[in-house]
Structure 1
Amino acid sequence: MHPPFEPLTLVHVVFSSRIAGGERHCIDLANAQAALGHRVHVIGSAGSAVASALAPAVTFHGLKLPLLRGWRVAALARQLGADVCHGHLGPACKAVAHARPAARIGTLHVGYKAHQHARLDGLVCVNRAQHEGLPQGEALASVIYNWAPELDASAAARPTDLRAELGLAPGQLLVGSVGRLHVSKGMDLLISAFKAHAPADAVLAILGEGPGEAQFKALAAGDSRIHLLGYRSDVDQALKSFDLFVSPSREEAFPLAILEAMRAGRPVLSTATQGPREMLAGQPARLVPVGDADLLGRAIAEELARLRILAPEARAVSYATAAYDRGNAVARTLGFYGDVLLRQAAQAQHFEDEEAAIIA
């Protein structure tokens, strides 16, 4: 992107109180943009965990109440002199739609919904299927793949041995998953599949928190092999302990957890949702049908039988991940902002020319 659009004043909006995939993407993008010299702000809910994860150069603005969020986001964006207002997840995108005259951008972390995204100036699609399925409209759109957030140096300095934490014997295999405890993420399917088909000495660890926690703990009750470990700040370290990573989601646009498992070199088994179908095409990973606990369980058992005969060091997998390069994606996002801003400038000039012609 070229001047006069640099440096930009960028305002990201995300209303979640806790950190999951979309929130982590927002945090890492904001931090990366600030490191490049842009003036970066994040608007969120007061008390959100997002605030503490932002770099010192990023300013967080907490809204105490959810009332009139669109109006309040717009007012704050104008006060800050925002060039771009970028929404992450549906409620934030709906609020960003009010933030004129800033360029209003939304990332489709989940999928397109007209009531949340139709009034935006630009849409970032996280897979090709999203882009191909967009309705005809005024918004510019671009496919920019997500990336695994930058490794946390402080967490890496505190090695995690999840196997020791769970008391596993050397020969036991550990199945793991990372995600929000919500029905869309399919953790209930994974628990049922594991209970029905995993070998007796295998162990399942699920990292994450969310509204389905009580339901999933009840489903796992009575099986001492299953551990719901809640939110973890050491995901990258914990992943290295997994013998098999499973993504059991019912819907998934672009799961960061799979990228992190790929970066950690873990064998990956995933349901064939929209994002993983594209991410894992041609990769040494396995896909199974969505929503079928029996087939998922059988696949887990087959993968564990395959892995059991390999030495631990031979279980590592190498993936092609160049398409998910962080620096390239951040640069492309900034370039997309420039495209939207240039289009806005051209439209404004066109309107001025039409008004001048009418007056003349």
Structure 2
Amino acid sequence: MARLRVVHLVDDTTAGGVMRVLDHIMTAPGLSETLDHSLRCVDRRNAALGHIEADIIVSHLAISWRLLPTLIALRARHPRAAIVHVEHSYTEGFVTANVTHTRRFATLLRLSYRLFNRVVAVSHAQGDWLVRSGAVRASALRVVQSCVDLSAFRALPAVSPPVRVIGAIGRLDRQKGFDSLITAFRRTTRPDISLLIYGEGPEEATLRDLASGDARIRFMGFAPDPVAAMATVDAVAMPSLWEAYGLVAIEALAAGRALLVNRVDGLSDHLAHGAYAVEDSSITAWEHAINDLAEGHIQPSPDRGNVAQTPEDLFAAQWTLLGKDLVRA
């Protein structure tokens, strides 16, 4: 098959999961065999796109009513191109936590997604919800779990239970649920465990106040090197209120760290690979899980690196298959 020109559209280039995934797409050898990827930044304040020379146009944009006219124009100007949307943001948990006018929001998603040849969910749980909710037709949905290069995480020295250092890694935002984690951690009475919080964001002052007085909790700031941050912890906690997929989860599992997650959205995808679900997501349940970690009752995944197909290989294969699918269509 001839190499296809793929242009990825992005409207948020700040450091974070979406840009890390796009960096991986641009640089991974397995993704360049049949697809020629390039990136185009879109100004949210003036989202006029003009004509794009591409066989496949991939939107990583944040769907909104304001963006809808731009998407309609994009479809009209490129009748022969295959246009794909990757949904990095919206999930069932997002709607529960943030959306008041659910019918209006559902209408926005249906109208927007109908403009694309395919909609890509970044987790199976998210994809199931998109179809179940009526936002996307099953025939138009594909699932490509997000990925980055995990080789450096696999190379980290293994850690043995019991856990002594728990890591919370991510933007300090309400989404991540770090307030509940701090409260649960403070309820534990063990002096031999610590909580390292990596990240920055709008909730930092609130979280610092919540942790005040507990010397076991330390704020480490933004982690420019996620591998170095992972090397400092024995386990990772992800008490997110919503999460489309969670790159930190696959990084923790690749590094052989025990992983605690709320059973919500895309975090559920990681249970089959060794993540431990804190069943009812309550502060009490998280307190018990932290104690179980400290007592060695929760083990890291035994499959570290011993899988027939790595997440990177699967990611490349799924993108290649998507390209072939769009050419046949």
1:80-91 counterparts in 2 under 5 A? 81-88=53-60, 90-91=62-63
Confirm or deny that 1:212 pairs with 2:203: yes
In 2: Cα distance, 1:204 partner to 1:91 partner: 35
- Give the letter aligned to residue 292 of structure 1: S
The 1:141–1:323 alpha-carbon spacing in structure 2 relative to 1, beyond 3 Å, is farther
Q: Distance in 2 between matches of 1:289 and 1:97?
A: 42
Write out per-residue CA displacement over residues 21-73 of structure 1, whole angstroms, 9 at most, x where no aligned residue. Answer: 233112212322774374432123xxxxxxxxxxxxxxxxxx5x53231x22x
Corresponding position: 1:196 with 2:187? yes
Q: Structure 1 residue 174: deviation in Å?
A: 0.7
Deviation of 1:291 after TM superposition, in Å, equals 4.2
Which stretches in structure 1 are left out of the alignment for 5+ residues?
Answer: 45-62, 161-170, 309-314, 344-360
TM-score normalized by structure 2?
0.77
**Of the two structures, which has the highest relative contact order with CA contacts closer than 8 Å and spacing of 6 or more?**
2
In the alignment, is the contact (CA less than 8 A) between 1:207 and 1:232 conserved in 2?
yes
Question: In the alignment, does 2:218 pair up with 1:227?
Answer: yes
> Residues 216 and 91 from structure 1, CA distance in 2 versus in 1: closer, same or farther, beyond 3 angstroms?
farther
Matched, 1:336 2:322: yes
- SS in structure 2 of the partner of residue 123 of structure 1: strand
Distance 1:317 1:66, change over 3 A: closer
Q: Give secondary structure in 1 for the equivalent of 2:295.
A: helix
For the residue of structure 2 that corresponds to 1:306, the secondary structure is: coil
Secondary structure (helix, strand or coil) at the match of 1:85 reads strand
1:151-300 correspondence runs (5 A) = 151=151, 173-197=164-188, 199-281=190-272, 283-289=273-279, 291-300=281-290
Superposed, which structure 2 residues align to 1:33-72 within 5 Å? 35-36=32-33, 38-44=35-41, 63=42, 65-69=43-47, 71-72=48-49
Q: 1:14 to 1:228 in 2, by over 3 A?
A: farther
**Which AA in structure 2 matches 1:9?**
R
| Contiguous gaps of at least 5 residues in structure 2 | 92-108
Provide the rounded CA distance (Å) in 1 between the counterparts of 2:219 and 2:73: 40
Matches of 1:29 and 1:227, distance apart in 2: 34
User: Equivalent of 1:104, from 79, 83, 102?
Assistant: 83
Assess if the C-alpha contact under 8 Å between 1:145 and 1:323 holds in 2.
Answer: no
**Aligned mates of 1:254, 1:10 — CA distance in 2:** 23
Who is 1:130 aligned against?
126
- Matched residue type, 2:82: A
Within 1, Cα distance between the matches of 2:274 and 2:44? 44
Shift of 1:321: 5.0
Distance 1:198 1:89 in 2: 45
Partner SS, residue 90 of structure 2: coil
CA distance in 2, matches of 1:260, 1:340: 30
Q: Taking structure 1 as reference, are residues 240 and 198 closer, same or farther at Cα in structure 2, changes over 3 Å only?
A: farther
Q: How far off its partner does 1:143 sit?
A: 1.9
Bigger drift between 101-110 and 126-135 goes to 126-135
The 8 Å contact of residues 266 and 317 in structure 1, kept in 2 or not, is answered as yes
Give the residue type in structure 1 aligned to 2:141.
A
Q: Matches of 1:265 and 1:128 in 2, distance apart?
A: 23
Contact 2:11 2:62 in 1 (8 A): no
The Cα offsets for residues 190-223 of structure 1, whole Å up to 9 and x where unpaired, read as 1111112252232111222322222222222222
Residue correspondence of structure 1 range 2-13 to structure 2 within 5 A = 3=1, 6-13=2-9
Percent identity for Structure 1 against Structure 2 = 25
Q: Does structure 1 conserve the Cα–Cα contact (< 8 Å) formed by 2:144 and 2:318?
A: yes
TM-score, structure 1 as length reference: 0.71
Query: Could you tell me how far apart the structure 1 residues matched to 2:114 and 2:200 are?
Result: 31
In structure 1, the residue matched to 2:27 is 31
> CA, structure 1 residues 342+96, in 2 after alignment: closer, same or farther (shift >3 Å)?
farther
Is residue 120 of structure 2 the alignment partner of residue 120 of structure 1? no
- Specify whether residues 217 and 331 from structure 1 end up closer, same or farther in structure 2 by C-alpha distance, changes over 3 A only: same
Aligned AA (1:31)? T
Measure, in 1, the Cα distance between the counterparts of 2:12 and 2:217: 28
Question: Tell me, what secondary structure is at the counterpart of 2:206?
Answer: helix
Call closer, same or farther: CA 1:83–1:236 in 2, change over 3 Å.
Answer: same
Distance (Å, rounded) in 2 between the aligned partners of 1:172 and 1:340: 47
After superposition, the C-alpha distances for 1:143-187 in whole angstroms (9 at most, x for unaligned) are 22223434469xx8xx99xxxxxxxxxx98111022222111111
1-structure distance, mates of 2:252, 2:72: 34
Residue 163 of structure 2 contacts residue 294 of structure 2 at CA under 8 Å; is this kept in 1? no
- What secondary structure, in the 3-state scheme, does the structure 2 residue paired with 1:201 have? coil
Aligned length: 293
Show the counterpart of 1:318: 302
Amino acid at match of 2:57: C
Assess if the C-alpha contact under 8 Å between 1:89 and 1:110 holds in 2: no
Q: Deviations over 1:65-89 (max 9, x none)?
A: 53231x22xx1xx24x121121225
1:338: Cα distance to partner? 2.8
